[in-house]
Amino acid sequence: MPRPLRTASGAAVLALAASLLLPGSARAADDGSVARDLGRAYHATAKYRYEPNAAKDGFLPADDCKSDPVLGGMGYHYAKLAHLGSTDPDRPTALFYVTGEDGTRRLVGAEWIVPSTGQPAPRMFGRKFDGPFDIAGLGRVYDRHVWLYEKNPAGFFARFNPHLSCP
């Protein structure tokens, strides 16, 4: 059973974003755009910390929890296909939740998914998307995970969190 982690505050997210801006890693960050976009993503998703708000806004829950025995977990994805292709920090394609010991789900992060049509990887938050790879039902895609509400020792933008697993 993974150990429970503390939830990040908005200030912590912005502080973490600033710490991620290493020299040469994100030139777009020189003007503060990465921290600003992470702040936008945090504020756009904050209302989904209350899980019923996600369904109310059209995010549909998947029945399966995504995890890898070596890399860790992602959690349960709630997708809004109207946002497929978005690189707008205010419009994530998916939210991911984990189930707590009390049986309720809590928001841990968000994901942006862009179909691959042979183009180079899109950029967001000062870095290239991961991929391309295949996602069942969506085909070949790029994605960008952001662990806005859960510390991830593998990295703020890593696909999996080694502290999480599925039941």
The set of residues, in sequence order, having a beta carbon less than 8 Å from that of 117 and lying 6+ positions away, is none
Between the two ends of the chain, the Cα-to-Cα distance in Å is 8
CA dihedral over 94, 98, 104, 106, signed as positive or negative: negative
Check residue 30 and give its pLDDT: 54
Check residue 21 and give its pLDDT: 42
% of the chain with per-residue pLDDT over 70: 81
Q: Considering only 22-31, 105-114, 132-141, which range has the smallest mean pLDDT?
A: 22-31
- What residue segments make up the domains of the chain, in order of their start? 10-146
